[in-house]
Structure 1
């Protein structure tokens, strides 16, 4: 049986984040960047879980915008855009382009996130992959179908705990309610899709 993001997300929601957490939402952009799983803890902090099912996908994660802070540092010199005029047979300035300049600094945590984890199948993990991760603060969760406890779909082992972001403040109760509302709407949307599939 092949691995899927949904099967891993379901195992994490039911086994790892089923206690002491208020809500778990899949594929959520609430932080400003996509979280495969956005988890709200009982003390209103955000945990972002990135699910990977291949080594290439894991290595590519460092390029995501969530791992970079862009600081505007001015503009490049103006560049005129010229166009040939057929009736006067000369070049005329059509517009002047002025591109902004930014300084990119790596982030240890995505915006608003208290803890960040990578979750992936145990069979694709190798300690050498630590060097490919965008942050040394991220935790690692490995999932294994073999040897899982009775009643659980997969065994989930934490091989590296996430380092908490001390600057990530708890979200407001109103924000937690908004995230819970989103989770509730997603559930009803899933029921509607299931009914359509059963009717077909």
Structure 2
């Protein structure tokens, strides 16, 4: 059944309904609350954040490691460069930053990649954004979509729980998105009628 039409939405829905449906307060799709886009952002019952990146191709998975969410940049000063020009030279200053590779995205307690099992190979572990990231593999069976943990995520012990007010804000965002989805569905049905 490897020809199942995998999309970010089908994977996100399966995770929300099968993996995060009992132990989590809220699951928000395409959320930038942490400062970087998470395909799914889940809030645990003890107010910790789980960031899930959904990938439907190997190239998309490999490209994730280059995202800014994996790098902390600190201003290190300016670099002066001379630019030779005919008859005279010019100089300019360019900001220089030190870069530190992060193990977890900012504020995140656990980070996962979720992707179809059919595209996974264990050699891809080396391509992930972090060795602390977990991997969730999805497959289609007679019982429906199934989620298997290929590697559990390592928790970020320094990630602080979010405040109750922040959890309410995320729940409000999820609720507003649900109502907007209903409005879009109604509009599509009106056009089809």
TM-score exceeds 0.5: yes
Deviation at 1:134, TM superposition (A): 1.8
The SS at the match of 1:102 is: strand
In the alignment, structure 1 residue 173 sits paired with structure 2 residue 164: yes
In the alignment, structure 1 residue 100 sits paired with structure 2 residue 99: no
The SS at the match of 1:167 is: coil
Aligned pair partner of 2:8 in 5, 12, 15? 5
1:31 counterpart residue number: 34
- Output one character per residue of 1:57-83: Cα deviation in whole Å (capped at 9) or x when no partner: 00111110001111111111155798x
CA RMSD of aligned residues (A): 1.8
Work out the number of aligned pairs and report it: 188
2:104 counterpart residue number: 109
Deviation at 1:91, TM superposition (A): 6.9
Contact preservation (8 Å) 2:30, 2:37: yes
In the alignment, structure 1 residue 40 sits paired with structure 2 residue 43: yes
- Output one character per residue of 1:74-132: Cα deviation in whole Å (capped at 9) or x when no partner: 111155798x9xxxxx8797xx6321101111100000000000000000001000011
- Output one character per residue of 1:128-169: Cα deviation in whole Å (capped at 9) or x when no partner: 000111210000100000253xxxx30100111100000100
1: CA distance between counterparts of 2:110 and 2:95? 32
Which structure has the larger Rg?
1
Q: 1:55 to 1:124 in 2, by over 3 A?
A: same
User: Could you state the TM-score of these two structures normalised by the residue count of structure 2?
Assistant: 0.92
The SS at the match of 1:76 is: strand
Unpaired segments of 5 or more residues in structure 2? Answer: none
- 1:27-106 equivalences under 5 Å are 27-77=30-80, 79=82, 97-106=92-101
2:134 counterpart residue number: 139
The SS at the match of 2:80 is: coil
1: CA distance between counterparts of 2:165 and 2:102? 27
Show structure 1 runs of 4+ deviating over 6 A: 90-93
2: CA distance between counterparts of 1:81 and 1:19? 64
The SS at the match of 1:47 is: strand
Aligned pair partner of 1:120 in 115, 123, 147? 115
